[in-house]
Amino acid sequence: MKKTRNVILGLALIFGLGSCGVNQAWILNQNQNNTQVNLGSDNFQVLGQVKGAAEVDYIFVFGGQKRRNLFNEAYSAMIEEADLTSGSRTITHILTEEHVGGIPPFYYKRTITVSGTVVEFTR
């Protein structure tokens, strides 16, 4: 009887302390632009990090938008934050992260975050 109680208590702890979320991270070049720059001299300055995020909720697998639309929304938010119109700036090291959480199969929440490093060329 004591062994059964310990097994049940152990399973309750495992399920109680576990997470319902799943994380994925990809390092992708989604826009497929090919630009060549000369980094042989000190002709650039790193300005900092920028980030854009978008999220959607699903109830019983219905609702929300497709993953591609969600990525485009997050990418646009990152570009807007980067303020690429002032100076010779670009975004490098673009990282796309996706988090899916919730209480399956009743409720899912998908969050896509796109981040990168802003670099400004001085010469």
**Confidence class of residue 114 from pLDDT cuts 50, 70 and 90?**
very high
Give me the DSSP letters along the chain.
-HHHHHHHHHHHHHHHH----EEEEE---SS--------SSS-EEEEEEEEEEEEEEEETTBSS--HHHHHHHHHHHHHHHHTTTTTTEEEEEEEEEEEEEEETTTEEEEEEEEEEEEEEE--
pLDDT tens sequence across 11-38: 776 666 665 666 656 555 555 666 666 6
Residue ranges and CATH numbers for the domains of the chain are 20-121 (3.30.110)
pLDDT tens sequence across 33-82: 666 666 667 888 999 999 999 999 988 878 777 888 999 999 999 999 99
pLDDT of res. 18: 62
pLDDT of res. 48: 94
pLDDT of res. 56: 92
